[in-house]
Structure formats: C-alpha cells, structure tokens
Amino acid sequence: MTGAPAWVSVGTPLPRAHEVLLERGIRHHPVLDGEALVGILSDRNLKEAFAAPGRGNFLVEDVMMPEGFAVRVG
C-alpha cells in the first residue's frame, strides 16, 4: 500500500495526469472532486483518450471511470 498516494482532480488536463502516472510508475489514479472520491483514472483510459480526436482538450472527468469499487481480500 502506498503511504502517500497520487491523485488527480476532475479538472486536471489529461497530459498532466499522464505525467504523474509516468513519474510515479503507477497505472491508476484516484480522482477527487474536492475531498470526495468520484472515480478512477487508469492508464487504459488515457491510451483510449489519446487515440481520439481532440485529445489535447480532454480533462480527467471526461475519461475517468466513475464510482470506483473496492474488493475485500481474505
């Protein structure tokens, strides 16, 4: 588990979110709206968005998976 997890806000431009993924060596971002968790942004979301026309104008909220989920182990 990460002691200081990376997160992005719903209004973060996709290129910046991608930079954080690369800098941290991670594949998923929690997405916050203020202090509320509102979704997850994955490297797959970014790859699909970067393949679409107009990709430079997308924000995290445009491509994130809303309503993340948790899995109980054990």
Q: What domains does the chain contain, in order, with CATH numbers?
A: 8-66 (3.10.580.10)
Round the CA-based radius of gyration of the chain to a whole number and report it.
12
Q: Along the 74 residues of the chain, how does pLDDT read in single tens digits? A: 556 777 899 999 999 999 988 998 889 889 999 988 899 999 999 888 888 887 668 899 999 998 756 677 76
What global pTM score does this model have? 0.77
User: Per residue, what are the HEC states of the chain?
Assistant: CCCCCCCEECCCEHHHHHHHHHHHCCCEEEEEECCEEEEEEEHHHHHHHHCCCCHHHCEHHHHCEECCCCCCCC
**If you search the block for the tokens 């588990």, which residue do you land on?**
1
